[in-house]
Amino acid sequence: MRVLGIETSCDETGVAIYDTDQGLLADALYSQIAMHAEFGGVVPELASRDHTRKLLPLIQQVMDEAQLKAADIDAITYTAGPGLVGALMVGASTAHGLAKAWGVPVLGVHHMEGHLLAPMLEDDAPEFPFVALLVSGGHTQLVAVRGLGEYELLGESVDDAAGEAFDKAAKMLELPYPGGPQVAKLAEQGDPRRYRFPRPMTDRPGLDFSFSGLKTHTMVTLKKAKAADDLDEQHCADIARAFEEAVVDTLVIKCRRALDQTGLKRLVVAGGVSANTRLRERLSHELTKRNARAYYPRGRFCTDNGAMIAYVGAQRLNAGEQDTGPMKAVPRWPL
C-alpha cells in the first residue's frame, strides 16, 4: 500500500509517500520559521494561509520525486490534531478533497502518535514495547508503548512543555525564534558551575513535569544580572547553560524512573526537543549504565514532518481504519 501523508498542524508543511513494502519513497518539507520569526512566534492566521500556498506544490513535488501518478496512490492520511485549527483544516480539507477525486480511502491521524512512531522509519527501529519521551513545543509526555494504539500515559507536564520553556527562555535572552536550538547553541559556551537551577518535581515520586517555575527562575536570574549591570555575552551563556542543564537533568531523571517503573529497556525520544545534543549525551550515558538503549528519529524527522504521518496512517489503514464522515480537525486531542 502506498500512502500519501500530509502534515500541517503548526508551522511546517510536510508531505511524504510511504510504501508498506518499500518504505519511504519521498518526503518534502517547507518550514514557515522565517515568516513567523519577525513576530517572535507562530501567527496562526499566517500559518494557515501559507499552508494553503505550499501544500499542493509540495504534493506535486513528492509525486514527481517518487515518479508516481495519482493512480499509484492507495490512500491519503493527514494530521487531524492536536494543533492550530486553521492550519489543520488546510491539510484535512486537501486530504479529503484529493481522496474524493482519486477514489481512495482517507484517514486523519494524531500528530503525537506520528512523533511517537517516527523512529520506526529508521533501519534500526525499536521493537515494542518501549517507553517514549515526547518532548515538543506543545507536549512533554512519558508514554508506555506496548503496540500500535496501545499507549499508557505515565506522566506529563502540568504546565509548560519543555520546548515551550526553551522558547520562552530564548525570548528572555533576546534570541530569535524558534528558541530551542538558539538556547542550546549559546549554552555550549556557558560555564555549568556558575549557577544551579532547580529540577522541578524531581524531589517527589511520580512522572509528571513542571517547567513554568524554571522560566520564572531564569527571569529572576536575568533581572538580577541586569540590575547589577553584569549581563555580558558570557553571563547570558552561563544562564542558558544552567537552564538547559536543569531541563535536561529533569527529563533524564524522569526517563530513568519511567524505565525502572515499567521494567522496559528501550526508550524512544521524539519531538523537537529530541534534537537537543546535551539531552542525547546525558541519556546515552544514563541508559548505558542500566543496559538500556535510546532510539531517535533521524534529525529531520525529530521536528514536524509528513513522513511520520504517512507511516502512522499506513499502520492504521492496514488495521482497517479510515474516515467515514467529514474531515477531522481537532485542536485538542489526548493521545
Amino acid found at 201: M
Return the one option of ligand KG4, Zn ion, none that residue 181 interacts with (CB less than 5 to 8 A, by type): ligand KG4
Q: Are residues 331 and 82 in contact, defined by beta-carbon separation less than 8 angstroms?
A: yes
Could you tell me the three cell numbers for 114? 506520528
**Closest C-alpha among 101, 121, 25 to residue 56:** 101
Query: Is 12 or 244 the residue whose CB approaches Zn ion more closely?
Result: 12
Select from 91, 108, 119, 181 the one that contacts ligand KG4 (CB under 6 A): 181
What is the closest distance, in whole angstroms, from the C-beta atom of residue 229 to ligand KG4 in the complex?
Answer: 30
Establish if 86 lies at the interface with ligand KG4 (CB under 6 A): no
Query: Is 105 or 114 the residue whose CB approaches ligand KG4 more closely?
Result: 114
Establish if 245 lies at the interface with ligand KG4 (CB under 6 A): no
Give the H or E element holding residue 4. Answer: strand 2-7
What is the closest distance, in whole angstroms, from the C-beta atom of residue 33 to ligand KG4 in the complex?
Answer: 10
Residues within the annotated binding site for Fe cation?
Answer: 111, 115, 304
- Give the position of cell 530564548: 170
**Closest C-alpha among 206, 216, 84 to residue 157:** 206
**Closest C-alpha among 1, 187, 172 to residue 76:** 1
Residues in binding contact with ligand KG4, number by CB under 6 A? 20
Query: Is 10 or 104 the residue whose CB approaches ligand KG4 more closely?
Result: 10
SS3 56: helix
Residue nearest to ligand KG4 (CB): 272
Give the H or E element holding residue 52. Answer: helix 44-65
What is the closest distance, in whole angstroms, from the C-beta atom of residue 228 to ligand KG4 in the complex?
Answer: 28
Query: Is 164 or 304 the residue whose CB approaches Zn ion more closely?
Result: 304
Give the interface with Zn ion as residue ranges (CB under 5 A): 136, 304
- Give the position of cell 547570558: 236
Site for ligand KG4 in 112-171 (CB under 6 A): 136-138, 163-164, 166-167
Return the one option of ligand KG4, Zn ion, none that residue 178 interacts with (CB less than 5 to 8 A, by type): ligand KG4
Cα 136 from Cα 50, distance rounded (Å)? 22
Establish if 180 lies at the interface with ligand KG4 (CB under 6 A): yes
SS3 151: strand
What is the closest distance, in whole angstroms, from the C-beta atom of residue 289 to Zn ion in the complex?
Answer: 30
Q: How many residues does the chain have?
A: 335
Amino acid found at 111: H
Binding site for ligand KG4 (CB under 6 A): 10, 136-138, 163-164, 166-167, 178-181, 184, 271-273, 275-276, 303-304
